[in-house]
Structure 1
Amino acid sequence: MERIDHILVVDDDRDIRELIVDYLEKSGYRASGAANGKAMWSVLKNHQIDLIVLDIMMPGEDGLTLCRQLRANPQQDIPVLMLTARTDDSDRILGLEMGADDYLIKPFVARELLARIKAILRRTRALPPNLQITEAGRLIAFGDWLLDTAARHLLDDSGAIVALSGAEYRLLRGVSRPPTAGAEPRSAAQSDPGTRRGTV
């Protein structure tokens, strides 16, 4: 039996959170909601989450702070799609700098959220061909490149640093981990029912 992707929606607005969770479940995903950072960490402790939809503007620890904390923990290497009600570039830029994989401005069409989720999952699971990796400490070597897993960037054969997006880092880091014996296969993103549209 194929494993269903599990998406965590973190938003202090109960109506929006439940609407997104409901839509994702109807679209073939498993979905959970969390109203704040404390609830988010509780879900992450007890479940394997494949992607987090994370609102920026929340009381207490906001989405930017939570995203930074996620990226500071190598054990929580989960794709993040950030939501923001602001139309200026500051939140978007800060979110990407904190390691978010994508962002979406509220209000949004639900099918666009679904399309972005599918795109993120597709990017993070694509495997580059003929990639050979050996690990030594925090550095992973392949070809003429070194992946620094602590600094989350690439080094070329001259020692120059090449910055990576969150998705690019996870792509390269993921293929360096051997498959776990007996682990269930991760399913591809489920098909869009294509019949339900809505603005969140």
Structure 2
Amino acid sequence: MATILVVDDEMGIRELLSEILSDEGHVVDLAENAQYARDYRLQQTPDLVLLDIWMPDTDGVTLLKEWAAQGKLTMPVIMMSGHATIDTAVEATKIGALNFLEKPIALQKLLKAVEQGLAHGSAAPPAAAAATKPPASTGVSGVPVAAALPTASSVITSSDTTASGAVQAQAGQTASISFDIPLRDARDAFERAYFEYHLARENGSMTRVAEKTGLERTHLYRKLKQLGVDLGKNKNEA
């Protein structure tokens, strides 16, 4: 799990990116303009920043320059824009931006860029890491790791066991659908069990469920709402 700051003046973009990245298990903080981003950066250092270029108060490239000049550009930054030129993207990269995403952002490009950005951040030089992270032992996202925590193998085993039990329960629910009901009701019951099965199997990740079922995320959300599927109990809390 990583902390990602999304800086964009468009509410729809902020909400969409927050939804996608939260489904992937990240903590997402939002800033509607450069000033909010400045204030946020004074308080803490995120593991990654998604920074829009064109904003009404201060453009993203100018904010990037400020952070670089103040020694605050210690985290990976991915620039975003639907109107930027190649020259703008090159300028941002020279200042210190790690990547550039063109809007509308394709889901797979977003996830790949975020994955690469977090990997780049975790591989930062020890001196930079010491200046921006707490002295305690930390994981990839900078979250302190206590010595008493269970081992990775035990966590994976526990998670797999829980998911397996949930999947078996959903399979049992599918098998119990009665044939003595109207076709529409039977179809709804099957689809409900089908989606709950995949939600349990993918630990509540809407992104992976969309990929598995072959549906667009917006269509998937509408379908789950129509079927009355409780997303709360399947939501990935990681």
TM-score by length of 1: 0.65
Q: Which residue of 2 aligns with 1:174?
A: 128
1:1-200 correspondence runs (5 A): 4-86=1-83, 88-126=85-123, 170-171=124-125, 173-174=127-128, 180-187=134-141, 194-196=208-210
Structure 2: distance between partners of 1:33 and 1:8: 6
SS at match of 1:91: helix
Q: Please report how far the alpha carbon of residue 101 of structure 1 lies from its aligned counterpart in structure 2 after TM superposition.
A: 0.6
CA RMSD of aligned residues (A): 2.8
Percent identity of equivalent pairs:
26
Q: Please report how far the alpha carbon of residue 187 of structure 1 lies from its aligned counterpart in structure 2 after TM superposition.
A: 3.9
Unaligned runs of 5+ in 1: 127-169
Whether the 8 Å contact between 2:45 and 2:75 is mirrored in structure 1 is no
Q: Which residue of 2 aligns with 1:137?
A: none
The letter of the residue matching 2:208 is: G
Which of the two has greater helix per residue? 2
Structure having greater relative contact order (Cα 8 Å, sep ≥ 6): 1
Which of the two has greater strand per residue? 1
Q: Please report how far the alpha carbon of residue 179 of structure 1 lies from its aligned counterpart in structure 2 after TM superposition.
A: 7.7
Q: Which residue of 1 aligns with 2:191?
A: none
Which protein shows a greater Rg?
Answer: 2
Unaligned runs of 5+ in 2: 143-201, 211-215, 219-238
Structure 2: distance between partners of 1:65 and 1:83: 14
Q: Alignment length, in residue pairs?
A: 151
Structure 2: distance between partners of 1:178 and 1:186: 13
Change (3 A) 1:175 1:182: closer
Q: Please report how far the alpha carbon of residue 107 of structure 1 lies from its aligned counterpart in structure 2 after TM superposition.
A: 0.9
Whether the 8 Å contact between 2:64 and 2:73 is mirrored in structure 1 is no
Q: Please report how far the alpha carbon of residue 97 of structure 1 lies from its aligned counterpart in structure 2 after TM superposition.
A: 1.8
Structure 1: distance between partners of 2:16 and 2:72: 29
Structure 1: distance between partners of 2:133 and 2:36: 30
